[in-house]
């Protein structure tokens, strides 16, 4: 279990996280006001949608306004790169500098880090070269520096396919090895079998790991994975209040109803 404010991630019902994807400050604060009226456990600000994301002073000002608007609700900040389904390109140095500034600001509770940014699966899953070992060690050290201030979610997104179980396991082990607090994997199913395969994989891994795990099968056919995490071991589910930040997200009010219904049957 990971404690973030009053929210216990990995205990009880999957926690609902809703994303703010607006492009300007006024709309971002308005979206936060709407979310405060919902039973949302965690609020995610997707900075890659923010048109001023390249200007740290603007990001900081918006973070300050957003934090004041949330009245203690946990805030997760994410810059999703285009390679993993986001809306902006960003160089690695700028990506790390931005997340460093955000962690040091004291205004956020959680930060998402893309573990496979600048690494291929083959580089990390096989026999690592000295150069790859050095780069991965640098990543681990950077993540540890972030963890001194915030909870770190280590993520992997695949919008093309659901890898085979062996690759899923390798990737999850690599995310865990990086030292993050919460591993997260979101993949695209080709069919219902892919959806069930991810859920069974999650169940097996959740029983073996000593930290919460977040997984989801994207698209409409993967919606079942967004509501049944209590049954198979996914600790957080992502919902929307308007624009989806990933395919297959459900409106938070419907998500809440379905999570409650399933939870009642576990009592």
Q: Return the active site residues.
A: 157, 184
How far does the chain reach from its first CA to its final CA, in angstroms? Answer: 20
Distance CA(137)–CA(134), nearest Å, equals: 5
The radius of gyration of the chain's CA atoms, rounded to the nearest angstrom, is: 18
Return binding residues for 3-dehydroquinate.
Answer: 19, 44-46, 80, 226, 245, 249
Distance CA(240)–CA(2), nearest Å, equals: 23
Dihedral sign for Cα atoms in the order 208, 172, 196, 84: positive
Return binding residues.
Answer: 19, 44-46, 80, 226, 245, 249
């Amino acid at each position: 279990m990971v404690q973030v404010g009053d929210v216990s991630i990995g205990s009880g019902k999957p926690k609902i996280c809703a994303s703010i994807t607006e492009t300007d400050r006024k709309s971002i604060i308005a979206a936060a006001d709407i979310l405060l009226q919902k039973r949302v456990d965690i609020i995610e600000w997707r900075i890659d949608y923010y048109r001023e994301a390249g200007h740290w002073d603007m990001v900081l000002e918006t973070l300050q306004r957003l934090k004041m608007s949330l009245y203690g609700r946990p805030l997760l900040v994410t810059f999703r790169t285009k390679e993993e389904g986001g809306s902006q390109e960003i160089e690695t140095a700028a990506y790390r500098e931005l997340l460093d500034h955000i962690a040091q600001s004291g205004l956020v509770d959680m930060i998402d880090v893309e573990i496979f940014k600048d690494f291929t699966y083959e580089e990390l899953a096989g026999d690592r070269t000295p150069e790859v070992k050095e780069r991965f060690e640098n990543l681990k050290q950077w993540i540890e520096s972030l963890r001194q201030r915030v909870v770190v979610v280590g993520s992997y997104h695949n919008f093309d396919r659901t890898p085979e179980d062996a690759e899923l396991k390798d990737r999850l082990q690599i995310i865990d090895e990086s030292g993050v607090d919460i591993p997260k994997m979101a993949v695209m199913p080709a069919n219902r079998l892919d959806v069930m395969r991810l859920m069974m994989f999650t169940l097996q891994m959740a029983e073996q790991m000593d930290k919460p795990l977040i997984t989801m099968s994207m698209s409409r056919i993967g919606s079942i994975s967004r509501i049944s995490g209590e049954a198979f071991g996914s600790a957080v589910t992502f919902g929307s209040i308007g624009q989806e930040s990933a395919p297959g997200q459900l409106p938070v009010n419907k998500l809440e109803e379905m999570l409650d219904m399933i939870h009642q049957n576990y009592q």
